[in-house]
Structure 1
Amino acid sequence: MTRRLITRWAHTATALALAGALLALGGCAPMTVTGAAPADPPWADALFAAPARPPQAAEALALSPAMRAYLPQLRAAGFDGTGPARALVDALATRSGLRLEYEAQTTRTAAQAFDDRAGNCLSLVLMTAAFARELGVSVVFNEALVEAQWRREGGLVLRSGHVNLTLGTPVRRAGWRVGTDESLMVDFLPGVDLRGLRTRPIDERRVLAMYLNNRAAETLATGDVAGAYWWVREALRQDGGYLAARNTLGVVYQRAGQVALAGEVFEQLLALQPDDGSALGNLALVREAQGRLADAAQLRARRDALEPLAAQALRELSPAKLAWLKARKGTAPVVP
């Protein structure tokens, strides 16, 4: 029997727009390359101060001492015939269990989500997977096919997609996995009927890249461009085929005033995925900064035709924000 688990409201992917450019983050609308890994994007390590402590991808799924102390309780709950997978789901879903809350501002590691009893969808998926593996339960990470959600945050426009995970054996149909009575799908998005929900499996490298890319966007939103660079660099080291991270790298370069590098990244991304709306919009900003206004208009028109919701979100920026962006033009990346 497929079990449905819901916290309050969750999303895991974010498409970030800074004064005109869009960033797509972990779990977002599919931005991926299959087969051989594409060529590396242009790196510019010398332009960004190295962090005191480099990002550590392994921390995303690591168990903390507090989580290990909680494991005996989960194991004991599974001995009554419920089994470890269902005992874990019950701990996540019931008021007597972990009492999780949704909180979207920061993408947490598994350990941080457990300590805070809160997280966005990706954070809660990481925490669930970390526990499941320690309990000997098989885990499949899934990208879910759901309608993207949009919101504004300061000068950013964020697009949210979704990921969840399956405990047990999922069924595959035409390349997508479908929740059935034989699998236990754990999800943190309310209002979605998990029976028949289309999902596509993603590997651990992709999940780690999503986590790192989200952290890059969140860091960039605070104004720490150098910190964001190192987060997204590690995301692409984990999974060079994750195009959302390439898009983030381009916006980091925009924000650093490296317009030529940003353009190179977006051109490379569009060569891999010609209809990517985020990259089209971001490259339009680069062309505008370079004085190539006709090219910028053409790119924007194509983006708007492909992603009308993105176009609407960008139009809803306040006049004050648009004036600020215009004043910043040519000195920093503009992201819608």
Structure 2
Amino acid sequence: MIDAGTEPEPGGFPRWLPAWAAAIGPVTLISAVLFYFGYVSSRAQYEYFGVDVDVIGLGTRDYIMRSPQPLLVPLLTLTLLGAGGLLVHLLLHRRVLAVLASPSVSDVVRTRRAHQARRITRAAITLGAFLLTSGIALLFAYETLQEWPAYALVTPALLICGASLVAYAWRFADLITAAAPASEAPAPVDADPAPGLRRSARFLVYLLLVTAIFWATATVAQLTGRGLAREVAADPERLPRVILDTRERLYLRNGIVEETQLPNAEHQEFRYRYRRLRLLVIGEDRMLLVPDVWSASNSTIIVPIDESMRMQFQFQNDAP
């Protein structure tokens, strides 16, 4: 007996396959986005210590697990802006659209309110176009302003604000047209000489908005990664303390890490011991160690996880 859920369709595929495909698509997209922002944040964080993140050997899961922190501020910001925009839309709907659509309101009042709404819409489009133009001007001025610290945040912020205003003003103008009195309604859409051009313009504005949001979020992720690195450098005590034994001398010249020569003994393969080291991060087959005091002359030590090194992790100085 064949289960109805697995019975093949005429094309030869089980009936549940399209549903699974529809679910897998968004999950894959979300995972890719989380991976990207986790990677951007980690790259900025470990560049502070002079390490290319690709050297560490972190996996996809590691980057996804590191993404919530750099995404926290952008997500909260977008949520608050979305809530504020929804409140503004509800207010305009009650003050404008509800009046235009109400049969109990005279045509004179509805016409006057439609004129006022269109003036506000034109003002919003003008302001949005100005912000968009300013953001695009900053894009073309990249060679001159690329050293400006706020460039990577101000430019996408202008594009986001401008594109949002223009997109919403266009949408609100459509709602006004649909609710306005017949005497105030413009020519039908079929009479528009370039409806395809208008749709293309709206698509480009939406695409610009999504791209600017992605750019701003990536910038925040970079700043978050650099901020995490500075916090670690300012307080290395939060990192695990490591004692490292090696067979060969490391020739560290920073004056912070303490080197001790181990006594010769039978079956003793390790000759040098190093203290005042901290575990920065552990990858698939290697560890990255840093001195427990930050200095511009410090270097990050890459230690393979094999028999060539011997490590001890010390307890914290916090008695139970």
TM-score w.r.t. structure 2 length? 0.28
Instruction: Tell which has more relative contact order, 1 or 2 (C-alpha 8 A, sep 6+).
Output: 1
**Greater Cα radius of gyration, structure 1 or 2:** 2
Bigger helix share? 2
